[in-house]
Amino acid sequence: MVEVFVFTHLRTQCNRRWSCDCDHHHSPEKDSIQSEIKLYLNGGHTMKKPTLFSTLVICIFLVLSGTVQAVPAQAQTSTTLYLPLIRRAATTSCRFGIAAIPENAGYAVSLAQFKVGGFVDWNNNPGRVLPGDVTYLRVISVSDPFDDVQVANYAANLARAYPGSYWQIGNEPDTTYQGHGIYQDNVTASQYGHRYYVIATAIRQADPTAKLGFGSVVQPTAVRFRYLEMALARLIQDSGNASTAYGLIDFLSIHAFILNEDEDHNDDGIIDNKWGTGVPKDYNDPYLYCITTNPDGTCKTKILPEALTPAQTYDINRFKSRIQNMRQWMYNNNLRNKPLWITEYGSLLPPITRPEDNLTTLPDSVTAQYMVNTFDYLRTATSTTTGLPADGNRLVQRWFWYSLNEHRYWFGGSLYDPDTSPPQLTLIGQTFINYMAPLMPEEGCLP
């Protein structure tokens, strides 16, 4: 028998097994050829197609071509053929992905035009049909309330239901959104490390083939690096040793926005009269983010949040520097050999604003150029010191643009406008399509 595989992506495959048995029988009444073509799908279903003429043609061709040797009548009368491996050509680039908003119009538009190989919508099951060669990144929250036993059981059940999946554990645990924690998990570094351990252990035990993503901070900055260090320390503590902890991490997952980090002055999780992402929930602890201390043990100097202007949020040089810093952090923490995924990023200044919002706006043309600049960098950035050796020392393995269909009066970067009927392709969306058109499909991205 031969296995014919048609690969649709990293985890989707269809096994086909064909056999052609040509049995030659002679009787005084007549000569006959009986054949049976058996199609096995996924190892168990058989479909018989007894078409005498077509089967005869196949068998004669195989004998004449030398693939099947004629045998004496007294010898074994069944010959098994081994057909060559067949692979369906890739149609997407696994490095590129898109983040989409399920509740907005445009969520179900065709992804084929963008040739992306990844899709995320912050759920654990997509609300739309995805092409077979598109990786769906499943997301599990670590937000409150969190019961270890209940969440572990929930995660294990999901892992068994979707074996071989990619999991982002937590979504921006280091920040809040407009002070309400609507989209972000908003937990301390220690809480994130512990909750990651609970979920990752449950998934790994239920499905050893699952791929687990650690981190998911809103942006790679000094404040967030300290957050990740404390979360990693807690993960190691709960795991018992570093080796076990690192075994629960298959890839590092970060977001790569460029946002203001003005301090939460009232320690209530709300950014006081400022825009951006704010600081982690535990930032105002007197010691956790301290660099140097006074003789009495009090904090002398502290890691400061980045204070940015709107124009700096689409600065390609700042973007490059942050990605390089993230890889350096991974190197410093013995994580160089882990793939790095940017599971959400873009330029968030909207192209339009409503009177009640009065937001700073940015033309689509500027955001589109920023997107192209990031694509050019991410496709080519390498480092022989900090890059992933298994991927040609590339700094980043996969990246997901935000977004497919966000409201344009809230955020920038939308490929489709959900507030037109039907949703219309934006200048940014057309730029994305034009960029991808000449690129060769790519598969096999790590992990």
The full 3-state SS of 223-264, as one line of letters, equals HHHHHHHHHHHHHHHHHCCHHHHHHCCCEEEEECCCCCCCCC
pLDDT of residue 59: 39
Torsion sign across C-alpha atoms 280, 386, 343, 417 = positive
Measured CA to CA in angstroms, residue 72 lies from 60, 75, 102 at distances of 16, 5, 66
pTM of the model: 0.80
Rg (CA), the chain: 27
Q: Which residue has the tokens 């019961």?
A: 147
Structure tokens at 77: 């009368």
Q: Is 297 left (phi over 0), alpha (psi -120 to 50) or beta?
A: left
Q: What is residue 89's predicted lDDT score, i.e. its pLDDT?
A: 74
Domains of the chain, with CATH numbers?
2-64 (no CATH), 93-436 (3.20.20.80)
What is the reported pLDDT for 276? 86
Residue in 427, 273, 434, 262 with CA at minimum distance from that of residue 352: 427
What is the chain's pLDDT, residue by residue, as a tens digit (447 residues)? 333 322 233 333 333 223 333 333 444 444 443 333 333 333 333 333 344 444 444 434 444 444 444 444 444 555 666 666 555 678 999 999 999 999 999 999 999 999 999 999 999 999 999 999 999 999 999 999 999 999 999 999 999 999 999 999 999 999 875 543 356 899 999 999 999 999 999 999 999 999 999 999 999 999 999 999 999 999 999 999 999 999 999 999 999 999 999 765 555 555 555 678 889 999 999 999 999 999 999 999 999 999 999 999 999 999 999 999 999 999 999 999 999 999 999 999 999 999 988 889 999 999 999 999 999 999 999 999 999 999 999 999 999 999 999 999 999 999 999 999 999 999 999 999 999 999 999 999 999
Helices (H), 176-221: 189-206
Contact in structure between 276 and 263 (CB atoms under 8 Å): no
- Round to whole Å and give the CA distance between 222 and 291: 11
Which of 99, 100, 194 is closest to 144 using CA atoms?
A: 194
